[in-house]
Amino acid sequence: MASISTDVLIIGTGPAGSAMAALLSSYGIENLAVNRYRWLANTPRAHITNQRTMEVLRDLGEEVEAEAYLHATAQALMGNNIFCTSLAGEELGRLPTWGTHPLSKAAHLLASPCVMNDLPQTFMEPLLFKTACSRGTQARMSTEYLHHTQDADGVTTTLRDRLSGAEFTVRSRYLIGADGGNSLVAEHAQLPFAGSMGVGGSMNILFKADLSRYVAHRPSVLYWVLQPGSNVGGIGMGLVRMIRPWNEWLIVWGYDITQGEPQVDEAFALKVVRDLVGVPDLPVELQSVSTWTVNNQYATRMSNGRVFCMGDATHRHPPSNGLGSNTSIQDAFNLAWKLSLVLKGQADPALLETYNAERAPIAKQIVTRANQSIEEFGPIFKALGLLDSVDPVTMQHNMDARCEATPAAEAQREAIRQAIAFKVYEFDAHGVEMNQRYQSSAVVNDGSAEPAFTRDRELHYQATTFPGARLPHVWLYTAQGRKASTLDLCGKGRFTLFTGIGGEAWVAAANAVAAECGVALTVHVIGPRCEWQDYSGDWARAREITDSGALLVRPDQHVAWRAGAVMSDAAHQLRAAMRSILGK
């Protein structure tokens, strides 16, 4: 007999586990979340928080979104990625990033009601965890997952209370492995992985120092410092990352993984800090040093029976593009509503299989992109002449050569400009962040062809209502002046149907199908003198259906199904779509 029973046991309270707990509790699902440590993240690892993640927080509630902005460094200060020889030294070039270039800013404003920001993990985790616990999650800290077994009805998990050493069991209908990059749950569930771990070594040096005079005039989150001869392979590229402007910082510095994990003492850490800042006697308050490895691995299946893994447990990659915590939270948004419907008996367990079909391709995509982004520093090194020699004097000479008045130097200057500009694929890849489209049985194709991407799909978000895509955001208004995003009108654990004038049959159909299937389905009618006004015409341009058509949107704001115009058998059509999604 298990000591405790619950519907969903979540291992890990990082961004994935806490988001999952918060969403399940918001949907009224009983859950227990455990963490082997006594508290949440103690270092500010993840920070870049993209618009899609902010949409998940907004879906959790206005107060959750507002609190994130309260603690975050605003987008405007995320500004220019700087390439320099030290913070106090020469600047080699810069790239407007994270939606701060005017063109990118416009694309961001058009894409979402939410704003990208820099929210350190030390703020994101407590926010999600607090939301979860305040809405019903039972949480146990200092509690370690040991192993699990599953049968046809549920999962029995053995945990250890790290304070008393006592082991106990939890019986749950489902088990979530959100236990990070060294996931034991994924290992025990025998999830298949592609790629490899430990392809590079890095250390984080956390410190406090007032660096305003070197950075405040060129605000950024990331300052890349290139110092010939200072590290592995002759190229010392260190990252000085802003944690709080402009007195709290984290340096990311590589080490040669073939030589094993280095012992980093205070003197070494201080030297790295002062070298990269470029001020030998800089007053520094050293806070912590930790090491981590660069990984290149993803699960090709994210579940086994009643065990579902998410976050770094299933995608293990470097911080490039800032995708880790974002994707972890978005995994939870994909699975939580499905689990909720299945546990409430409203959907067949087959719906859960769509988590694999929809999220495993994303895991592969982001791991590949993040690792590719590391490779794409190569052209910058090459253009600066840092790959032609390992002799620091020659390397410095090659860098200096770009200042000469020769055709070769002019070509070098152009190569440097192009190589830095190409890093937009890491630092302003709006499409990577927003273009996720799903294909699975939880999406019903309407027979139309998927719209091809007209611009680079990694760089540019392209809105569409093609089934499987995230519902496009546009602002709508009530006659009384209330303003809401289309995304505000859906989500929150329920299905939503959008229609317009002439689509009255869909309203009746939606009410009938919701009652039959026992699911929550909200209807919004958009048009003159209707519930919602499309004064700007933005909705008419975005919806890709006629006034009388219908869009069925899933609880995670992805389009489930659409009809171009009203149909004589509207109820039949909608019923078929809904049953297919619910696996009934």
Ligand X SMILES: Cc1cc2nc3c(=O)[nH]c(=O)nc-3n(C[C@H](O)[C@H](O)[C@H](O)COP(=O)(O)OP(=O)(O)OC[C@H]3O[C@@H](n4cnc5c(N)ncnc54)[C@H](O)[C@@H]3O)c2cc1C
CB of 162 to ligand X, least distance (A): 9
Nearer to ligand X, 224 or 506 (CB): 224
- Please give the structure tokens belonging to residue 4: 């405790």
CB of 355 to ligand X, least distance (A): 15
Residues in touch with ligand X (CB under 6 A): 11-17, 34-37, 45-48, 121, 144-145, 178-180, 184, 204, 252, 292, 311-313, 319, 322-326, 328
Nearer to ligand X, 45 or 470 (CB): 45
CB of 178 to ligand X, least distance (A): 5
Nearer to ligand X, 312 or 358 (CB): 312
Q: Which residues contact 56 (CB under 8 A, 6 or more apart)?
A: 19, 329, 330, 332, 333
Q: Virtual CA dihedral for 495, 500, 501, 502, nearest 10 degrees? A: -60
Beta bridge partner(s), residue 73: 118
In the sheet where 559-563 sits, what is the strand order? 521-526, 495-500, 550-553, 559-563
Cα–Cα distance for residue pair 492/513, rounded to 1 Å: 19
CB of 332 to ligand X, least distance (A): 9
Nearer to ligand X, 209 or 332 (CB): 332
CB 303 within 8 A of CB 355: yes
Nearer to ligand X, 320 or 465 (CB): 320
- Please give the structure tokens belonging to residue 204: 């984080």
Cα–Cα distance for residue pair 463/224, rounded to 1 Å: 33
CB of 407 to ligand X, least distance (A): 40
Q: Virtual CA dihedral for 92, 98, 102, 108, nearest 10 degrees? A: 170
Q: For residue 457, count other CB atoms closer than 10 A to its CB.
A: 15
Nearer to ligand X, 220 or 464 (CB): 220
Nearer to ligand X, 34 or 60 (CB): 34
CB of 124 to ligand X, least distance (A): 9
Residue 29 per-residue DSSP state? -
Residue type (1 letter), 473: H
Cα–Cα distance for residue pair 298/366, rounded to 1 Å: 9
CB of 142 to ligand X, least distance (A): 9
CB of 318 to ligand X, least distance (A): 8
DSSP letter string, 154-177: -EEEEEEETTT--EEEEEEEEEEE
Nearer to ligand X, 425 or 561 (CB): 425
Cα–Cα distance for residue pair 414/420, rounded to 1 Å: 10
